[in-house]
Structure formats: C-alpha cells, structure tokens
Structure 1
Amino acid sequence: MQRLPVGIDDFAKIREGNYYFVDKTMAIGELLDNHGEVLLLTRPRRFGKTLFLSMLYYFLASAREADYRNLFHGLAIERADGGSYMAEQGRRPVLFLSLKDVKHRTWPDMVEKFRSLLSDIYDQYMYLMEGTGFSQVERRYFQRIHDGLASPIEMEDALRRLVIDTWVYVLAFPNREVRSIYRSEILSRMNPGRTTSYLMTTMENGLP
C-alpha cells in the first residue's frame, strides 16, 4: 500500500519506499534543453523545492558506489524522446548542499553550522585524495575543511575548489602536467557565480 510522503524531501527515499510521487521528471528534460547560468525556483515553503533538487541530483550525479538509474524506472523522463534523456543520467559530478537547517539566531552559530555542513560534504569526497594529481598544499586545505578547522576565509572558496577537484578527478588524466594545465584552464574560466553552468556546458561540449 502506497503512503503519502509527509515531510520526506529525499527523492531516493520516496522511490525506494513506494510512496506516492507526482511525476515531475520532465522538468529535468526542460532544464537539460534550456538551462541558463542560474536556475531560480520561486515557490513558497513546502512546495517541493528541495525534493526537486534532490531528484535533479540523483539524475545528474555520477555515483561511485551506487546506481541511481533505477530510481527513474517507469517515470516520464525514461520514456521521453525515445529514452535519449537517460543518456545524460549519472554523467556529472554534482555537489548537493542544503541550507534549510541553518536556522541559528547568531552569526557565529551560523558560521559554525556552515563549517559543519562543509565538513560533511567534503567527507563524501574523501576518495579524491586517493588520486595523485593533488599537491600537498591542496591536500592540507582539503583536510582542514574535512576536519572542521577551516577559517571563514578558507570556507568562502571551499565549494568552488571542491567542484574543481571533483572535475579534475573525473577527467582522470594520467599525466600530472596535463592535469595541471586543465586545472588552470578551469580556474581561469570559472567564478563562484557560474560554477554550475560552466560544468554543465563543459560536460556537454568538452573543454576546448
């Protein structure tokens, strides 16, 4: 018997738990076809913004130890356009960070909470340090964020640097010099406000 997903905003939990789900997966197709630099979702509270972003994460994210493709079995996005959209499933490095639980009343407490969130997300990507394309300085920076020791200045750049590290890892160039060249190319063309758009465009078209 299907249940109502009251208070559940995780797409995988809803699909795997056999909850009622209003199929809005074609919004993913619209995003892939017409994405801009920024996606702004203007909806009131409890209108499914976090659930939509969770659904988008499971569609785009390339998981190391899980296959999210089955979550979309039988949904509209799987059948649309002869299944062509599913060729995009699981092909991109994606960072998913929600600030909905940052509800503290003082700025220092909010900074501490954000530091904790960064630590959690860096923990998901500890495998990056298994690679050989990162300098000792980069490893120390990564470890400080992971251990919750980062200063506010270091925290400001944490997500952008993690995106770059993840992208370089996905490229998986065997030659360290080539990795360095591509890292410099990404850095020169990326700024914090354009990270998502740049990565999506690059994954589709390739670096020049």
Structure 2
Amino acid sequence: MSRRLAAEFIGTAMLLAIVVGSGIMGERLAAGNDAIALLGNTIATGAGLIVLIHMFGPSSGAHFNPAVTLAVWLKRETTARFAACYVIAQSAGAILGVWVAHAMFAEPILQLSEKARDGLPQGFAEGVATFGLIGAILSTQRHRPEFTPVAVGLYVTAAYWFTASTSFANPAVTIARSLTDSFAGIAPHSAPLFIAGQLGGTIAATVIFTWLLREGVERDRSVPDHDLSQS
C-alpha cells in the first residue's frame, strides 16, 4: 500500500511539473503567441504521460487522476478506502508538482491563478474530455493493455486541441493548476465547474463503456469456436 501511494504521489507530482513547467517555458518562448505556447504544452504533456505510465504502472496502475480512480471504484475493482487514499496521494502530489515547476523557473512558489475559464461550454468540454479519456483507458485495458500508455498520451494530446477547455480531465490537476498564475492556470472560482464536468464524464464513461465491453464479451462467447478461428 505504501509503495502504491508513493508511486501515485510521485507520478502525479511529475505530471504537474511537466504540465506547468512546459506551460511556463512555452509562454516565455512563444513571444505572446498562445497557439505556439499551447503546442509546446501539448507535446510535453502527451509525451510525458506515456513515459510516466510506463514508469509507475507496475507499481500503482499509474492512475495519477481521481477520475480514473473513481472509475475503478465504480467498477468495484477497489475499495472506497483504497480509492480515497489514492485521491489524497494524487492531490498532494499534484500540488507539489506545481511548486516544483515554480521553483525551476524562479517563480513565486505560492500563487493563485487569475485565468478565468468560465461558462457552461467549458464545463461541458471537460465532461467530453474526461468521457473520452476514461473510455480510452477502459477499452484498451480490455483489448490491448500494452497500448494503454500510448493511447492515453495520444488522446490527451488530441484533447488539448479539440476541447474548448484544453482538456484538464483530472480533478487533482484542476485543483493544482488553480495554484499557478501561469499559462496552465485556472482561476479557483472556475475550478468547481471543471470538476463537476469531469465527474459527470467519468460516471457516464464508466457506465457506457462497461456495458459496451460486457456486450462484446458476451457476443464473443456466443459465437462457435470454428467461426472465431476463421475471423
């Protein structure tokens, strides 16, 4: 248990150091061009996620995200106590990761973001982003578990650009990013709507993809063996 929680803490801290650090670097180098800054932020986050999941997956499952842990709990694959401990470790690690990024770039350690991300479309975008993320994880874990780290990294890379919210898709990330007044930040008053969208997307994805994957298993079992061998 202690090793799993340490892996979640360290992995989530590293993830936020990547997200916030690349955001600061991108903003400094882009000379006011937000598209270039976002592109740098996107590439670093997607690539970093693939590596981090490979690093910590064997130790903790590499959730790094309360939404993922919630999905696992909803599927009754863990206990409420275990899930709560994961969420605490993830949240603490995320905050530490923001502070590490600030320290690396000689920024004030303690900050609050002033970057408003308000409006129902933003919350809806977070629901869509999280729905797709959980769906990608559940689907690849069922059919191609070795591909899950790449699938997550690629999906997050895409979702940065196709969602209006730039795809936080993670309550711990949302809370931690409210503590940085940088390119990656979100104003604290905007965070509750994001988290509500993320939780809604998680529940919807868990219900729908659990049903879809169960139907697929039942259908496969109903096909005679000789038909399967020819497919």
When normalised by structure 2's length, the TM-score is 0.26
Structure with higher RCO (Cα < 8 A, 6+ apart): 2
Structure (1/2) with the larger helix percentage: 2
